Amino acid sequence: MTGVLDDCFCDVESIDVFNNFKIYPRIKRLTEKDYFRYYRVNLKRPCPFWADDGHCSIKDCHVEPCPESKIPVGIKSGNYNKVRPEMINVWFDISSTFFFVLATRNTGHYQNNQSKEAFADWARHDDAQDHFCELDDETSPDSEYVDLLLNPERFTGYKGPSAWRVWNSIYEENCFKPRSVYRPLNPLAPSRGLCLEKRVFYRLISGLHSSINIHLCAEYLLDEGWGRSVWGPNVQEFRQRFDTAETKGEGTRRLKNLYFLYLIELRALYKVAPYFERAFVNLYTGNTQEDSATKDLLLQVFNEIKSFPMHFDEKSMFAGHKIEAKTLKEEFRLHFKNISKIMDCVGCSKCRLWGKLQTQGLGTALKILFSEKEIQKLPEHSPSKGFQLTRQEIVALLNGFGR
């Protein structure tokens, strides 16, 4: 892999050096911190698009939920959207920024109009957010915390029909493309002839697909003998998906789309830095020393990102006629939201977990890029109104970028 990437002024070599020596070591340490290792997810949601193919019965497909006793107190006590009238002191976790609302016992009325107005204002903005993903209901009894470090992304041996069906549905029904037919693991350069926005959308999905395929090739089930599974790199599988000769030249394009995805998510982190740089924003787990170290490490990541000279310029997107641009942006958002729903159709629970997390991470990145004005208006010393990130979005964004 060498040379300049399409649709941006950046070369592969610069990204390699920047990532490998400056970003990845810090991101790896960050995703090992308690705030980022626990992800709340509902893996039991039914597939909304076709009859369930049945879940994988292979033991390595299983996701082990985290016992309640292992979850840091500051994480499991968060109640993001709900208020119970019988509560007097109600804490609302807004991306680890806390509103304190005083409620009157048994009546459900707020103790003063200012508190009531603040909560109502937050709720309105939360409802109005341009969500690019179908978010799991964290209050559902089927939602569970998962320790991502104990449930790593890897190829488990599952080869059920849902694997093909999911990506086929994504490419055929949800990607913008000219009239042609593609296969889920062999998209034939459909981004040609599309406008920038639709070309970007396709390249993001292709890059995400490439990223996941690389993860599975790198941690491939090599041996199940003697009751102990062994994982490791499967070079043959990697070549089959990405080698220039074996893919008729498409392997290089797929890998370049992965670099493109990296630049988009890098740009989103650059744009959202002011949100986290405010002094009162705390990545709260309940462990003061740990939380301070996590915040410091995140700020180090932001400082490195700011030093990168070749960011993707998203201002060229949706820059035409206002009505057409607004329509295209909404179409863009709904297409991606539909893709996030398709992740509930993945038969392997472990693949479903990481598919949902990485899709939500990319969806959060898109939400950030399309909220630049709201982020620029953030108040320095009080909770933001026009732009919010939940803890789940933050965890998905950083872990998705890490992948």
Phi and psi (nearest 5°) for 149? Answer: -70, -25
What DSSP string describes 127-182? HHS---S----TTSTTEEEEETTTS-----S---HHHHHHHHHIIIIIS---S---
Given 127, 148, 163, the domain boundary residue is 127
Please check whether residues 216 and 120 belong to one and the same domain: no
Same domain, 192 and 43: yes
User: Is residue 91 in a domain?
Assistant: yes
Please tell me whether residues 86 and 189 are part of one structural domain: no
Distance CA 190, CA 179 (A): 9
- Per-residue pLDDT, 108: 37
Determine the Cα–Cα distance for residues 130 and 266; give it in Å rounded to an integer: 20
323: left (phi over 0), alpha (psi -120 to 50) or beta: alpha
One-letter identity of residue 366: L
Q: Residue 89: inside a domain, yes or no?
A: yes
In a domain, 7, yes or no: no
Together in a domain, 187 and 232: yes
Please state the rounded mean pLDDT for residues 173-192.
48
Q: Is the CB of residue 395 less than 8 Å from the CB of residue 354?
A: no
Residue 260 is assigned to a structural domain of this protein: yes
Question: Has residue 354 been placed in a domain?
Answer: yes
87, pLDDT greater than 70? no
Q: Are residues 332 and 316 in the same domain?
A: yes
Give residue 241's domain range. 12-70+134-402
In which band, very low, low, confident or very high, does the pLDDT at 92 lie, cut at 50, 70 and 90?
A: very low
Strand partners, 230: 223
pLDDT of 223 reads: 87
Residues paired with 91 in a beta bridge: 100
Q: What is the DSSP string of 264-329?
A: HHHHHHHHHHHHHHSTT----SS-HHHHHHHHHHHHHHHHHHHT-S----GGGTT-S-HHHHHHHH
Domain closes at, from 95, 127, 159:
127
Dihedral (Cα; 42, 47, 51, 54), 10-degree rounding: -40
User: Does residue 181 share a domain with residue 88?
Assistant: no
Q: Which of 97-101, 315-319, 346-350 has the lowest mean pLDDT?
A: 97-101
User: Are 177 and 189 found together in one domain?
Assistant: yes
Residues 236 and 336 in one domain: yes
Portion of the chain with pLDDT greater than 70, in percent: 79
Please tell me whether residues 101 and 192 are part of one structural domain. Answer: no
251 and 344 co-located in one domain? yes
Please, are residues 14 and 310 in contact by the beta-carbon 8 Å criterion?
A: yes
- Listed range (52-56, 149-153, 165-169, 339-343) with the worst mean pLDDT: 52-56
pTM above threshold 0.75: yes
Judgement on whether residues 80 and 145 belong to the same structural domain of the protein:
no
44 in a domain, yes or no?
Answer: yes
Q: Residue 72: is its pLDDT beyond 50? A: yes
Query: Is 143 a domain residue?
Result: yes
The pLDDT, as a whole number, for residue 136 is: 76
How many structural domains are present in the chain? 2
Is 3 domain-assigned?
A: no
Does residue 233 come out as left (phi exceeding 0), alpha (psi in the -120 to 50 range) or beta?
beta
Task: Count the neighbouring beta carbons within 10 Å of the beta carbon of residue 18.
Answer: 20
Q: Are residues 91 and 160 in the same domain?
A: no
Q: How confident is the model at residue 197 (pLDDT cuts 50, 70, 90)?
A: confident
Among 99, 127, 155, the domain-final residue is 127
